Structure 1
């Protein structure tokens, strides 16, 4: 039975304990209908890169991209990871993006995907919806965005980056509308700006809460 859902967990090379915890808890031997992979960039400290190589050989669940791990590079990392995933995992119907500090209720999610045909329609991205979020212009703030990158005072509707769910075909469509320069706020850029430009609708669902 081929997996219908791929869970993409965004992780940092140093978060070994987080990944181990996920493997031993909510992702542990749950269902052959679900595959879980960890998306990881690279760091300048080569000792961590060696750790990841060993971890990948043991668990075979690492997708590594050639992007330096920094907060400002998060969107670059996710875009590179999603492009790799679309090539490597063409058999899945749904993709859930999440982080390595988030708990996912896989039994509920799989039940909804198998029984509710309207749970994740095509051309929608489902999650915790954020509306009329203001752009931060203070250069001292971690979420600072200059006018040269994004000139509007508010962001388009988007879903929180802690977890969002969409169809494989929807992600493929989103990436085809990729524009440069990337906004460093991954959830705003991918589920907000690219959704707006491609006609995909960010949708709120009670199952997603942060």
Structure 2
């Protein structure tokens, strides 16, 4: 599930041509879906282009909410509801941003290695376990004490990308009824996990020597990228440039 905006045409094209290609892993079905809301100001031309694109590729879900940074929590919970409703036959789901390099082969191998125990109450990514609320109103991640009075956040996975067993989508949706919404979508998912008593798993190599969900940008180096599930921070042009050799490696 890839959250994008109406304007992210280049990003969608780059993903379809790189790690979003069908049939990358033999005998493994991976469905890629772009999730879009409604723009704050309606653009009939862009909307018409989107509808044509949707008819051509069949990989776009447009939902009825205002698509904005402040509404990312709403977008994420609508993704969870969609997965719980339509993806009951899948073992895993993944939420991944459009500016990410994804090593699909490594992801599939990693999940295979986790075994059947990872098909229930499982969520993995880059875990943040020591975060506290930012009280400076000029900070991008500001949260007021009225909205969130606690002095700490429970462990959560970075919203750049995380993978989870599909049963958690329904459970997170249920838990959200008991958690006051906040505009930090990854923290909010962590709060729902806390209600459920589910602890996110840090995705690392043996002995924890490297983070497999690399949320900082790294200079491209084939051997390094071959040993990561994700690397953050790529525009469509960069993704197209580096992905062909990385996916096939």
List aligned pairs for 1:1-210, cutoff 5 A: 8-29=1-22, 30-31=24-25, 32-43=28-39, 44-46=41-43, 47-117=45-115, 120-179=118-177, 181-190=180-189, 192-206=190-204, 207-210=212-215
Alignment RMSD (CA, Å)? 1.7
Higher helix share: 2
For residues 26 and 100 of structure 1, the distance between their equivalents in structure 2, rounded to whole angstroms, comes to: 11
Residue by residue over 1:157-203, the C-alpha shift from the partner in whole angstroms, topping out at 9 and shown as x without a partner, is: 1110111111011221111111353111111101x100000111111
Distance 1:130 1:89, change over 3 A: same
Structure with bigger gyration radius: 2
Contact 1:163 1:208 in 2 (8 A): yes
Gaps of 5+ in 2: 205-211, 216-249
Distance 1:42 1:114 in 2: 37
What secondary structure sits across from 1:145 in the alignment? coil
1:59 shift after superposition:
0.7
Question: Which structure is higher in strand share?
Answer: 1
**Are 2:81 and 2:169, in contact at CA under 8 Å, matched by a contact in 1?**
no
Displacement after TM superposition at 1:81 (Å): 2.3
Normalising by the residue count of structure 1, what TM-score does the alignment of the two structures yield?
Answer: 0.90
**1:107-144 deviations in Å (ceiling 9; x for gaps):** 11122333440683522310001012121112222211
CA distance in 2, matches of 1:52, 1:149: 36
- Runs (4+) off by over 6 Å: none
Deviations 1:31-65 (A, max 9, x none): 45111111111102323322221211111001111
Q: Distance in 1 between matches of 2:138 and 2:111?
A: 42
Give the total of aligned pairs.
202
Q: Calculate the TM-score normalised by the size of structure 2.
A: 0.76
CA gap 1:177/1:161 in 2 versus in 1, 3 angstroms: same
